[in-house]
Structure formats: structure tokens, C-alpha cells
């Protein structure tokens, strides 16, 4: 775990090392619920797990070494997906992206619909030759740049480090699971 | 049009061709012929390089010539286009860039097929990717033809035809010899050339109006003969409700289509990590946003300096507004400055077409070889022979694009691009988003999503006024027009999403939970990424 942390810093360009990013991913991944790949692999799970497909495949897979390794690699992903560290990365991503996409799509569609259905409103002059339509159009440019900046900042501060740690951990687990097969 | 323009423009353009051919041979000198290298340039580009390359791929002749022409002719309504082109990048940045980089290897189908039964999904996504690419290619070819008509000062069919053929031949050489690495460097060179040319012209326009944007707008409005209506929406799309709905349809297609364009998505595979993919998207948003802001100035500048009547007399679709503006800004026809600027702009526009065309050809040859050929052929294909297939596919696509480009010579470039975006948004985007974010998505859902968007989009265009039933149609003499809109997006995009949902809920096979876990973990962390 320590080595992967060090690597995360080494690979980054330093921008991810701000105070904000220290709190969330660090604590969670160190607690490493998925350190043992067999931890509670299939017995529990989410309510949505349909319980038929996955466990059924785990049994015949024992036939051959290679198949077994593949199945174990599959389990690693399920396991990581359920880990708290990953849940945090995912919810961090979704919490930003879902409202963000909703906001800019609404704003854009509103702009296009207004431009086509309410030209009178859009033609209203503001300053000199500049009218509402011109301001709205340039406003779209401005908000696009702002959204871009906000997204990049959010990803850099809230996601990058945790995601990188998860990446090394997951790869280590997959390698371990595949064992001699690879 | 004097002989000087043509000579100088041809000279500059030959210089560009020589440089790019040089790049191609230099790059292919030490190629190992691996698929990794051919499709993804070894994944070793930096985010800044890739950002410029993406911008180069995206800033097509349709924007440089088509959209500025629309602004020059119709004022504000042309600007609506530009906004859609830019806002689309937020969809790419937020939902697609990083996740696709993490999940895929070479093509869009890689991402979708990872969770599904591979063969049907690859065939479906490969087919729609090739369709999108060919539509987009034809738009670029038409642009090349119309540009040379102006450059050589005559609209002779032979000159246009030979240009289309020449551009097609060059792009085939770039792609089949140089692969992704050569194509990327050509995009970078072209992006720098195009941006410098645009900056120079914008500065000249602003200097002409003493830096007073307000006066530029007022002059443009006066010169247009529409008065202040020129600065408000409605001149092109404001007439009937059909026209307005048509524009809303186009706007939605533009915003959602970019994230489904195969040649844009494949650019994200050329960088090493998802973080680099995000940074290259940020770079490209900055470059593309700046470029489009300048095209607004150039469009209104062309209206103010050249005048819409002159522009539309030279080319009814307005595609020649920027070259004419350059001629005027340099001092008018016959002056040295005008000659030089005109030649520079014409050469830059040519370079633009050539580079974009190469990028699209590469992406579609990847779809043909990596998705279609590999799936339609039963036995396992080795990586080496797959690259060989891709090179042959590039030649085939070149031939198809040349043939269609000759056929569609008189259509407005910007409209064709809108169509390509609509197909990308209806067929590729639903499959891509569902497979990244929807746990229950199944193979049948993926296949239905693609065909459920692709077939309506193409079918509606066949039944639209673009193909028949109006004087501007491809076939004006027949009338089988049943769908009133030129752009099918507003109908076909929801249909694509609906079909994907319907296919998923009706399929008897349950989604593979572990495969979804893999997609989700890989997409957000980059574990196991190539």
C-alpha cells in the first residue's frame, strides 16, 4: 500500500498533492477491505445481484487452471467495485458529472429553443449593437470554459489520487488472482 | 482572380504536401507494424500534442469555410452552429474522454463489446462508425472541390473532380503508410497553421475596425441589408415552424454527436493515461473555443468587409467567404498583400481538408479492420495481418469517399456535417453511454441501440427534402419526401436510446454483473488499461 502511494505521487505532476485530496482517498484505501480477494466474494453482495449468473459460473470454472484464474480475476473486479474506496471515487465522479451534464444541456437546449422560438426576445438590444442573443451566445462560450475548468479541477483534486491507488491495487490483485496462468 | 494567387497558393499547398509526406515517410521509416502503433501511435503522445491533434481533427473545413460563410450570409444563425460545436465538447469531457481511454483499445466498439457478446456488437458498432465516417468524409471532399473552384477562378467540373481525386489519393497515402503517428503529426501541423491563419485574419479584421467589435457588428448589419435582424436569430431558421424545428434538431445532433464520432474517440487512445486524455480534451476545448470565437469575428467581418451579396455570388452556400475576406484585407485583388493572404488562406483550408480527411480515414479503416473484418472472419486474425487489412481498408474507403464526393459536389458542406453528427448521436452515443453507465445493459440492447438509431437516421434523410421533392434536392425531379426536416436528430436520437432500452428489457439473457463491474472499475480507475 505504501509503495503504491509513493508511486501515485511520483507519477503525478504534483498538482494532485493538495490538502484537499489527502483526506478522502487515503483513509479509505488504507483500510483496504479487499486486500483478501476471497473476502466475502460471492456470499453477500448487493440486492441487485441476481444471484444466478455469477455464482453458477464460479463452479464449473474450477475445471481448468486457466478458467479458474479468469474467474478469480472477475471476482477481483466485483470485489473492487464493492470496496468503499471505489464507491467513493464513483460517487465523487457522479455527484459532479450528473448535475453538470444536466446543467449545461438544459442551458444549451434553452438557448437553442429560445433562439428559434423567441427571436423577439433575443433581438432585444442591450448595449449598442450587442443584443440578448449575442450575449447568450458568448455566455455559452464562457460557461463552456468554466465547466471545463471546474471539471478538470474536481477530477484533479477529488479523483485522481484515489483512482490511481485503486488502479495499482486492482492490477496487483488481478495479477495475484491470475497467478501462474499469466 | 489573377494567376499570382493560384501560383502562390499552389506553391504553399505543395509545401504543405511535401512536409506532410516527409513526416509520413520519416514516421513509417521505423515502424514495427504493430496494431498498437498503427491505430494508436504507440500511445505516447503528450496531452498537449494530442490536444492540438484533436483540435486539428475537429476544426474542419466545414467550420473554417462553411460556418463563417453561414455567418456572413445569415448573421446570427450561423453563430448558433458554432455554439453547438463547442458545447458538444463538454459531453466528451464529462462522459466519454477518460472512460473511453480506460476501457478501449483502438475503436469505439472495443468499449461496448467488452461487456457483451462480441461479434454482433462489433459488427453493429463497426457498421455505424464506418457510416458516420463516410458521411463526414464526403462533406470534407465537397469542401475541397468547392475550394479549388474558387482558387482556380473557375467552376469547371474537371478541376473540382481532380481535386477530389487528388485529396483522396493523398489521404490514402498518409494513412496507409503512416498510420496514427503520421496522422497525428499532420493534425498538429495543420492545427498550428489553421490557428495562426485565423489569428492573423482576426487581428486584421479587428484592426480594420479599430478594435471596435460594436462597429464591426453595425457595419455587418448595414451591409447585409437586413439591419438589426442580421444580428438576431431567425434569418435562416426563423421562417416556418418546420425550419425552426429543423434547427433544434440540428442543435441537439451537434451537441450529442461529437461524443460518438469515431475519429475523435480514437484520438484519446494516443495518450498513455486517462488523466492525459482529460488534459488533451481540456487543451482542445481551449483551442477549439478560441478558434470558434475567431470564426465569429471572421464571419461578421466577411459580411462587413466583403458583403453578403458578393459572397453569395461567388458561392451560393457561402463557402468562399473567408478567402474573399482575406483578399480584401490584404489590399484587394491585384495587390501583393491580397495575393499573399488569399494564397495563405486557400493553402490553410486545403491543409485542413487534407488533415481532417486523413484522420477520418484512419478511424474508419480501424473500424473496418479491427471490428468488421475481425468479427466477420471466423478464425483468429493475427495482429500483423489486421494492420494489413486496415491499410487496404484505407484504400477502399478512399475510393468510396472520392466517388461520393464527386456525386455530392453541390451540397452545402455544413449540412452534410450535421447529418454525420446526427447519425453519430443516434447510433453510437446510446450504445456507448448505456454500456458505460447502465448495469443491466445487454447484448441485444447494444445491437438494438445501434441499429435503432442508425436505420431511422438514414431512413429519415432518404425521405427528407435533402434527397427529393425540392429544387435543392439531390434528385429534384422525383418526390418521395415524407419527412419534413433536413436533420433527423430530433427523432432518431430518442429512437436510438429507446431501442437500446427496449432491447435490454426484452432480452432473456441477464447482464453479466462481473463484466459490468470490470467496465466500471476499469473506466474510473484505469486498471488494466492498454
| φ, ψ of residue B54 in degrees (nearest 5) | -65, -45
Decide if pLDDT at A13 tops 50: no
pLDDT at B153: 63
Q: Could you report the per-residue pLDDT of A78-103, keeping only the tens digit for each?
A: 888 888 889 888 999 999 999 999 99
Separation of alpha carbons B63 and B408, rounded Å: 18
* Side-chain half-sphere exposure of B141, counting CA atoms within 13 A: 31
CB contacts under 8 A, A 68-127 vs B, are 74-75, 77-78, 80-81, 86, 89-90, 93, 97, 100-101, 104-105, 108-109, 111-113, 115-117, 119, 122-123, 125, 127
pLDDT at B171: 86
Mapping DSSP onto H, E and C, the string for B105-174 reads CCCHHHHHHCCCCHHHHHHHHHHHHHHHHHHHHHHHHHHHHHHHHHHCCCCCHHHHHHHHHHHHHHHHHH
pLDDT at B249: 92
| B3-412 topology per CATH | Amino acid/polyamine transporter I (1.20.1740)
Q: Which residue of B has its CA nearest to A46?
A: B513
Q: Do A77 and B518 touch (CB under 8 A)?
A: yes
Q: Which residue of B has its CA nearest to A109?
A: B252
CB B68 within 8 A of CB B87: no
Decide if pLDDT at A31 tops 70: no
The Cα angle at residue B428 between residues B422 and B433, in degrees rounded to 5: 115
Q: Do B248 and A74 touch (CB under 8 A)?
A: no
List the one residue out of A73, A74, A80, A75 whose CA is nearest residue A28: A80
End-to-end CA separation in angstroms for chain A: 23
* pLDDT (average), residues A38-47: 34
Query: A76 vs B449, which has greater pLDDT?
Result: B449
Q: Could you report the per-residue pLDDT of A129-145, keeping only the tens digit for each?
A: 888 999 999 999 999 99
Residue of A50, A86, A148 lying closest to B93 (CB–CB) = A148
Query: A69 vs B138, which has greater pLDDT?
Result: B138
The residues, ordered by sequence, that sit 6+ positions from B105 with a Cβ below 8 Å of its Cβ are: B39, B40, B269, B530
The residues, ordered by sequence, that sit 6+ positions from B417 with a Cβ below 8 Å of its Cβ are: B60, B62, B66, B136, B139
SS3 A83: coil
pLDDT at A60: 39
Share of chain A above pLDDT 90, in %: 26
- Average pLDDT by stretches of 10, chain B with 530 residues: 68 86 80 78 88 91 81 89 92 93 89 87 93 87 73 67 84 86 90 93 92 88 85 80 88 92 92 92 95 94 90 79 87 80 84 87 90 76 72 90 80 71 94 93 94 93 81 76 88 95 90 87 84
The yes/no answer to whether this complex scores an ipTM above 0.95 is no
Separation of alpha carbons B157 and B149, rounded Å: 8
Contacts of A113 in chain B (CB under 8 A): 248
CB B418 within 8 A of CB B425: no
| Helices assigned H by DSSP within B315-441 | 321-329, 336-366, 374-376, 383-407, 413-423, 429-437
* pLDDT (average), residues A51-74: 50
Indicate the pTM of the whole model: 0.85
CB B297 within 8 A of CB A138: no
List the one residue out of B113, B117, B135, B138 whose CA is nearest residue B125: B113
B157 vs A80, B148, B413, B471, CA distance in Å?
62, 10, 17, 21
Mapping DSSP onto H, E and C, the string for B195-223 reads HHHHHHHHHHHHHHCCCCHHHHHHHHHHH
* pLDDT (average), residues A145-150: 96
SS3 B271: coil
Q: Residue B459 is placed in which grid cell?
A: 431512413
Q: Enumerate the domain spans of chain B.
A: 3-412
Amino acid at each position: 500500500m505504501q509503495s503504491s502511494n509513493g508511486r501515485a505521487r511520483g507519477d503525478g505532476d504534483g498538482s494532485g498533492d493538495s490538502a484537499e485530496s489527502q483526506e478522502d482517498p487515503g483513509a479509505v484505501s488504507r483500510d483496504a477491505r479487499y486486500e483478501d480477494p476471497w473476502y466475502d466474494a460471492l456470499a453477500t453482495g448487493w440486492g441487485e445481484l441476481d444471484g444466478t449468473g455469477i455464482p453458477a459460473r464460479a463452479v464449473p470454472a474450477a475445471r481448468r487452471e486457466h478458467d479458474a484464474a479468469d474467474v478469480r480475476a472477475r471476482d477481483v473486479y466485483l470485489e473492487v467495485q464493492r470496496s468503499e474506496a471505489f464507491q467513493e471515487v464513483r460517487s465523487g465522479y457522479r455527484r459532479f458529472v450528473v448535475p453538470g451534464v444536466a446543467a449545461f444541456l438544459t442551458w444549451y437546449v434553452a438557448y437553442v429553443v429560445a433562439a428559434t422560438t423567441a427571436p423577439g426576445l433575443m433581438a432585444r438590444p442591450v448595449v449598442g449593437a450587442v443584443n440578448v442573443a449575442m450575449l447568450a451566445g458568448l455566455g455559452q462560450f464562457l460557461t463552456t470554459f468554466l465547466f471545463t475548468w471546474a471539471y478538470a479541477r474536481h477530477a484533479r483534486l477529488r479523483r485522481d489520487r484515489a483512482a490511481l491507488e485503486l488502479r495499482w491495487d486492482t492490477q496487483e490483485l488481478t495479477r495475484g488472482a491470475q497467478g501462474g496462468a499469466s | 482572380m489573377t494567376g499570382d494567387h493560384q501560383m502562390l497558393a499552389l506553391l504553399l499547398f505543395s509545401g504543405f504536401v511535401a512536409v506532410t509526406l516527409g513526416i509520413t515517410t520519416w514516421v513509417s521509416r521505423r515502424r514495427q507494424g504493430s496494431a498498437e502503433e498503427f491505430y494508436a501511435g504507440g500511445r505516447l503522445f503528450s496531452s498537449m500534442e494530442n490536444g492540438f491533434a484533436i483540435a486539428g481533427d475537429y476544426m474542419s473545413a466545414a467550420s473554417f469555410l462553411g460556418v463563417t460563410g453561414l455567418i456572413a450570409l445569415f448573421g446570427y444563425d450561423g453563430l448558433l452552429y458554432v455554439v453547438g460545436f463547442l458545447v458538444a465538447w463538454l459531453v466528451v469531457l464529462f462522459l466519454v474522454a477518460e472512460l473511453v481511454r480506460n476501457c478501449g483499445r483502438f475503436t469505439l466498439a472495443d468499449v461496448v463489446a467488452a461487456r457483451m457478446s462480441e461479434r454482433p456488437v462489433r459488427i453493429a458498432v463497426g457498421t455505424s462508425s464506418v457510416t458516420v465516417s463516410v458521411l463526414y468524409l464526403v462533406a470534407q471532399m465537397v469542401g475541397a472541390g468547392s475550394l479549388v473552384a474558387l482558387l482556380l477562378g473557375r467552376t469547371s467540373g474537371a478541376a473540382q473532380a481532380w481535386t477530389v481525386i487528388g485529396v483522396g489519393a493523398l489521404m490514402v497515402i498518409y494513412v496507409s503508410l503512416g498510420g496514427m503517428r503520421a496522422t497525428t503529426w499532420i493534425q498538429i501541423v495543420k492545427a498550428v497553421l489553421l490557428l495562426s491563419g485565423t489569428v492573423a485574419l482576426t487581428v486584421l479584421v479587428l484592426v480594420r475596425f479599430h478594435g471596435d467589435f460594436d462597429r464591426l457588428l453595425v457595419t455587418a448589419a448595414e451591409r447585409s441589408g437586413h439591419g438589426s435582424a442580421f444580428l438576431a436569430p431567425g434569418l435562416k431558421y426563423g421562417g416556418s415552424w418546420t425550419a425552426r424545428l429543423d434547427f433544434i434538431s440540428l442543435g441537439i445532433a451537434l451537441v450529442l454527436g461529437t461524443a460518438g464520432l469515431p475519429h475523435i474517440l480514437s484520438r484519446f487512445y494516443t495518450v498513455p493515461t486517462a488523466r492525459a486524455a482529460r488534459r488533451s480534451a481540456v487543451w482542445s476545448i481551449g483551442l477549439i473555443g478560441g478558434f470558434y470565437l475567431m470564426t465569429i469575428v471572421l464571419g461578421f467581418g466577411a459580411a462587413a468587409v466583403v458583403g453578403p451579396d458578393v459572397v453569395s455570388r461567388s458561392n451560393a452556400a457561402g463557402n468562399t467567404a473567408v478567402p474573399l475576406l482575406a483578399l480584401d484585407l490584404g489590399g484587394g485583388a491585384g495587390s501583393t498583400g491580397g495575393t499573399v493572404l488569399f494564397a495563405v488562406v486557400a493553402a490553410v483550408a486545403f491543409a485542413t481538408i487534407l488533415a481532417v480527411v486523413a484522420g477520418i480515414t484512419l478511424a474508419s479503416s480501424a473500424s473496418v479492420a479491427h471490428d468488421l473484418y475481425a468479427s466477420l472472419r471466423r478464425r483468429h486474425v493475427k495482429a500483423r495481418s489486421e494492420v494489413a487489412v486496415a491499410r487496404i481498408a484505407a484504400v477502399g474507403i478512399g475510393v468510396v469517399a472520392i466517388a461520393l464526393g464527386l456525386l455530392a459536389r453541390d451540397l452545402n458542406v455544413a449540412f452534410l456535417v450535421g447529418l454525420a453528427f446526427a447519425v453519430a448521436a443516434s447510433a453510437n452515443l446510446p450504445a456507448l453511454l448505456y454500456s458505460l453507465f447502465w448495469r443491466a445493459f445487454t447484448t441485444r440492447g447494444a445491437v438494438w441501440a445501434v441499429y435503432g438509431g442508425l436505420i431511422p437516421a438514414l431512413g429519415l434523410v432518404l425521405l427528407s427534402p435533402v434527397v427529393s421533392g425540392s429544387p435543392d434536392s439531390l434528385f429534384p425531379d422525383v418526390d418521395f419526401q415524407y419527412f419534413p426536416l433536413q436533420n433527423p436528430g430530433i427523432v432518431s436520437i430518442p429512437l436510438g436510446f429507446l431501442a437500446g432500452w427496449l432491447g435490454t428489457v426484452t432480452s432473456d439473457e441477464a447482464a453479466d454483473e462481473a463484466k459490468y463491474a470490470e467496465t466500471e472499475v476499469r473506466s474510473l480507475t484505469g486498471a488494466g488499461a492498454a
